[in-house]
Chains A and B, each alone.
Chain A
């Protein structure tokens, strides 16, 4: 089975965001970049499927030169080879990114393509689903369970307070939600092997898309609150404040 997993380099979730001098992007100095956490579930699921089907997993990332490190982390987990679609900046409009990935994926004739549900930087939850639409193949987003039999699959997907069960045939795209699996940690041997695995770098030229950034800012500070008191004795004062001051009860 030919398997692809699309991954992204993002600032670690513990990053304290600072705005860059242009007022339109983040200040990347001192920021630790990692493999997007949702993509870890995607890589893990791709590897599990590879192990069951004797398949081959390619990890594809679109981003700057430094995304090679991100691809190496997927290779260290067990992916067989990597492709970097190199571009200096990724537009905020998800469609140009989806088009570039779809063009690359189309050539590979993959049976199944994994994405993380969303990237924790732009928080779009769009690219994987768009890629499927552009390729004209089925897709299900934010899955928590996957069962593949021959050329068809059944997945579960969480919706508000319930779970949808969806069936489709391959080739297809799925995007991984937390809970799908427990991603493995790369072993030392995997890290050593990853250095020797093939990694193609291809330059891509993205259109800038239809979203013009006017400003990136930090959210407004919350108005200073107050400690209503200590221990259970403070409860009546809290309830009174919620009822009569905040009027939320």
Chain B
């Protein structure tokens, strides 16, 4: 029976939330074809693998070594490709994260197989059929994967984690020779002074645009984001103006996001911006222009001066959080 491999990511010894989503996606596929889900964790010794059974894994393969703490592209590729071949998996699922977007293509090229990236739904009923947004979400492909094996990366926040009373068996796997010491080497990870949530991963995002008038006024966005436990996003206009780092840009030439809540402040809603955030579950728009295109996609809109509205909103949110 063909099984499905879920490549799981860890950071600082903890398996990431997105990997629970990967397990959920792999689980639904495996249930369709009647196979098992094997989660593969590559990381340092002591990674916590508890609860992965409940999240969908029948078995956890752990390739642990202290010098695998950071993402080492070539060694990771080697480990995954080796396990994929040995286990004859039908599908290898990973997250469309910074790591997954780099590792997925490598594995597909190594195995000579098909890659479907950044998919938002998977169905296994009649062959493997996936949907994936293109043009940053302006259109959506429905695709049938015609070959086996295949590599699928899933978009963050597109699959809901599952929880079941299942216990996964744990099997340690060794890194085969040939993966070590060659190619590119990740020497360190620079963490920012103030740890910030990433806009592509966060379940709540507060974005600011040109309506803020100047860079300093972004503190209103920072304050609201802090109150909501949200990541800060930005429109292309303010990134190009140098007010905010490009890593915060939401849109077709920035990041595409699917949070539970997206708050757009002083953003009119250019096509390329709407493309990047229209799959958010709930969209709130705050803008002085009642005809701004952003209101066409927003679930809730407030028309008016953001300099009056946003501080009030921050205050109300704080009250709820503290209450």
- What residues make up the interface of A, taking CB atoms closer than 8 Å to B? 11, 13-17, 19, 26, 37-38, 92-95, 98, 120-127, 129-130, 133-134, 138-142, 156-168, 172, 177-179, 209-219, 222-223, 225-232, 234-236, 238-239, 241-243, 246, 248-249
Contacts and interface: CB of A to CB of B under 8 A. Distances in A.
Interface in B172-203: 183-192, 195-198, 200-201
A230 B105 contact: no
Give the most central of B185, B247, B272, B279: most A CB within 10 Å: B247
A177 B200 CA distance: 15
B290 to A, nearest CB: 7
A61 to B, nearest CB: 19
Given A166-B187, A225-B297, A246-B299, 19 more contacts: A16-B271, A17-B139, A120-B252, A121-B135, A123-B132, A125-B101, A130-B106, A141-B102, A142-B98, A158-B98, A158-B247, A179-B247, A219-B138, A225-B301, A227-B302, A230-B303, A232-B309, A235-B316, A238-B313
A129 B185 contact: no
B146 A212 contact: yes
Interface string B59-87: 00000000000110110010000000000
Contacts of A230: 302-304
B295 A227 contact: yes
Given A120-B136, A122-B134, A178-B253, A162 B113 contact: no
Contacts of A239: 313, 316-317, 320
B278 A95 contact: no
B121 interface: no
A130 B195 contact: no
B140 A160 contact: no
A249 B317 contact: yes
A135 B194 CA distance: 39
Contacts of A162: 189-192
Interface in B281-323: 281-284, 290, 295, 297-305, 308-309, 312-313, 316-317, 320
A239 B300 CA distance: 10
A21 to B, nearest CB: 15
Contacts of B186: 164-166
B114 A209 contact: yes
B157 interface: no
Contacts of B283: 222, 225
A-B interface, 10 closest residue pairs, ranked by CB to CB distance from nearest: A210-B114, A210-B147, A168-B184, A133-B109, A160-B198, A126-B105, A231-B304, A159-B98, A225-B299, A130-B109
Contacts of A164: 70-71, 186, 188-190
B206 to A, nearest CB: 13
Interface in B92-139: 97-99, 101-102, 104-106, 108-110, 112-118, 129, 132-139
B145 interface: yes
- B interface majority secondary structure: mixed
A158 to B, nearest CB: 6
Given A95-B108, A142-B98, A242-B282, A120 B114 contact: no
Nearest to A163: B190
Contact of B254 (A160, A178, A246): A178
Nearest to B102: A141
Contact of A229 (B98, B113, B302): B302
Contacts of A138: 74, 183-184
B48 interface: no
27 contacts: A14-B271, A92-B143, A93-B114, A94-B108, A95-B109, A98-B109, A123-B132, A124-B115, A125-B105, A126-B105, A130-B106, A133-B110, A156-B190, A159-B97, A162-B190, A164-B190, A165-B187, A177-B246, A178-B249, A178-B254, A216-B134, A216-B141, A222-B283, A225-B297, A229-B302, A238-B313, A241-B300
B14 interface: no
A94 to B, nearest CB: 6
Contacts of B70: 164
Nearest to B110: A133
Contact of A37 (B108, B198, B253, B302): B253
Interface string B231-267: 0000000010000011101011110100011000000
Contacts of A167: 184-185, 187
Given A16-B271, A179-B246, A234-B304, A212 B195 contact: no
Contacts of A241: 300
Contact of B109 (A134, A141, A215, A227): A134
Contacts of A243: 320
Contact of A214 (B71, B116, B144, B301): B144
B103 to A, nearest CB: 9
